[in-house]
Structures are given as C-alpha cells and as structure tokens.
Amino acid sequence: MKIKLVFICGLSFLYLAVKSPAAEQEKYTLRYSFHPGETLRWNVEHRSLVRTAVSGTDQTAETVSYSEKVWRVKDVKPDGAATFEQLVPWVDMWQKLPESNEIRYDSRTDAKPPVGFEDVAASVGVPLSIITMDAKGKILKRQRKETRGVAANEGAITIPLPDEPIAVGHVWTFPCDIDVPLESGGVKKIKALQQFKLESVKTGVASIRVSTQIISPVTEPAIEAQVVQREGTGVVRFDIDAGRIVGQQMDVDKHVVGFRGQASSLHYVTRFTEQWIPEIAKIPAKSSDALK
C-alpha cells in the first residue's frame, strides 16, 4: 500500500494506493525439464472393478496391477524438447473374472505367463515407444515399437502445461478425442475436453485438479459404457523446480443403464495412482583409513 499527499486548489488530500489481491498473487511457470542420459521411474498402481447386471444376472470382474514406468532420456534440445524411450521393466497382476479362478502373474518371478496374459508378458522389459515431447508436454513425435503388449497404449502420457505463467486458481483446457470401437467394426470418435486447474502450490509442488468433459452427445448406452472409462478426475502433483510429475491419483466411478438392453446396468470403478521414485544419491563408502 502506497500513501501519497496530493495538493488540489490549495487543499491537501491523503491518497491511498492499494494493490488488489490479484496483482500481488504469485505466478508460476510450469515446464517439464529433462537431462540427457537420466532415467525417470514411477511406481504405478491400477485397480478396476466392473459390476454388470444383465437380465437379472449379476457379475463382477476385478483387476489389480502394480508396475514400474520408466523413461530413458536420450536427447534434450536447447528449447527443452526431450526424446525418451518408454518401457515397463516389470508388472505384477491379479485378475478375477466371472465364473473363473483367480489369475496371478508376476513377471519378476514367473517364467511363463498364464493363459490370457501373453500380451502383457510380451510388453515387459522391452522399449514400447520412443517419444519426443516439448517442455509444455506436447507430443512432437511418437515412434511405436512392434509389440503385442497392451502396455503400449496410444493415450496421453502426461498432462499439457499452460503457455504463460499462472497463479493459483488458473484454469486451462485441452481438447482430445476418445476412440470407441464399434461392434459392427470401425471406430467412433467422441470429442472431449480435459480441464486443468492449479489448486495450490506448497513447498514447490503444484497440485493440479484434472477432469474430463464429454463434448459430443452420447445417446447410445453401449458407447457410453466405453466412454465413462476415460472420464477420470483427480489431482496431479507437479514439482516445479524438478520439472516433472511426482505423483497423481485419478478416479472413475460411473453407472450406465441399458448398455445391453433395458434390463442391464454397469458400474465401473477404477483408481490409477502413480508415484515418482527419486534417484538415490550414491554415497561413497568410507575407507578403513578414514575410520582410524
């Protein structure tokens, strides 16, 4: 607040210049930051529970998977664009489908995957894709490797960041398409909009609220049953100084009625969590002479 004494027509007035709260609010520049030769790792947990009711018959399918996501940085341009290799070193999965026994597979201990997990096993420990991404999270190039693995999906690998410095409360959006395979063949594109909001910044870590809005009208329950799987909401934690996502949790909890006739319903529940694994600094061992 500034205080100024102003003289007008021989009279003095006390003028108070008060800055608005918005003018004083700190702004942050969010950018991804990579270094050639570094390896980034995250622990990933994915849980899904699908309950269906069709013509009076209720069924439940449950899947839990733990894995590690790795980005091996190959090159970084002066403008911050980075090229990295994406892979999954290991996966530990558990699945229970209707009218079947539990199936478990841990790539670290099981020499042979159980039936139905062959594609998962084929994607473990091999490069899935080589990606070039700019400092704002835009994918400039994606080279997919030949693999049968389901881990090599073509969805978004991270969140886009805003162009300008932003303050807490700022909202930005990113349009995207959801590809829905049709039973008759072909793919139906559903337009969606991802929304991001900077909720807070604490100790250098930004909390970003993420949600997905469906733009295209979806009137067929069979298509809606697939679209809801992409309507996750949650929070991403971004380390501003390190320039990377250090954690996130995304949830889906949706109901669809009539996806297989009028007497049918679907309840889809998932939780996806990710936690960055910091590199442990190597501490040189003490020599025997130093202990004397």
pLDDT at 284: 43
Q: What is the pTM of this model?
A: 0.84
Q: Are residues 117 and 163 in the same domain?
A: no
Residues facing 46 on adjacent strands: 65, 272
Could you report the per-residue pLDDT of 217-268, keeping only the tens digit for each?
999 999 999 999 889 999 999 999 999 999 999 999 999 999 888 889 999 9
Distance in angstroms (rounded) separating the CA atoms of residues 286 and 292: 11
Q: Are residues 129 and 176 in the same domain?
A: no
With a cut of 60, say whether residue 289 has pLDDT above it.
Answer: no
With a cut of 90, say whether residue 286 has pLDDT above it.
Answer: no
Distance in angstroms (rounded) separating the CA atoms of residues 40 and 57: 46
Residue 286 lies in a domain: no
DSSP 291: G
Count of structural domains, the chain = 2
Q: Are residues 56 and 137 in the same domain?
A: yes
Average pLDDT, the chain: 87
Residues facing 241 on adjacent strands: none
Distance in angstroms (rounded) separating the CA atoms of residues 182 and 89: 33
Among 154, 175, 197, residue at a domain's last position: 154
With a cut of 70, say whether residue 23 has pLDDT above it.
Answer: no
pLDDT at 151: 41
Handedness of CA 108, 114, 120, 123 (dihedral sign): positive
| Mean pLDDT computed over 175-188 | 88
Q: Are residues 56 and 84 in the same domain?
A: yes
Could you report the per-residue pLDDT of 54-94, keeping only the tens digit for each?
988 999 999 999 999 999 999 999 999 999 999 999 999 99
Q: Are residues 118 and 171 in the same domain?
A: no
Residues facing 41 on adjacent strands: 70
284 versus 115: the higher-pLDDT residue is 115
Query: What do you get for the CA distance between the two ends of the chain, in Å?
Result: 62
| Range in 24-28, 29-33, 159-163 with the lowest mean pLDDT | 24-28
Q: Are residues 172 and 239 in the same domain?
A: yes
With a cut of 60, say whether residue 168 has pLDDT above it.
Answer: yes
| Residue 174 domain boundaries | 159-276
Q: How many CB atoms lie within 10 A of CB 114?
A: 15
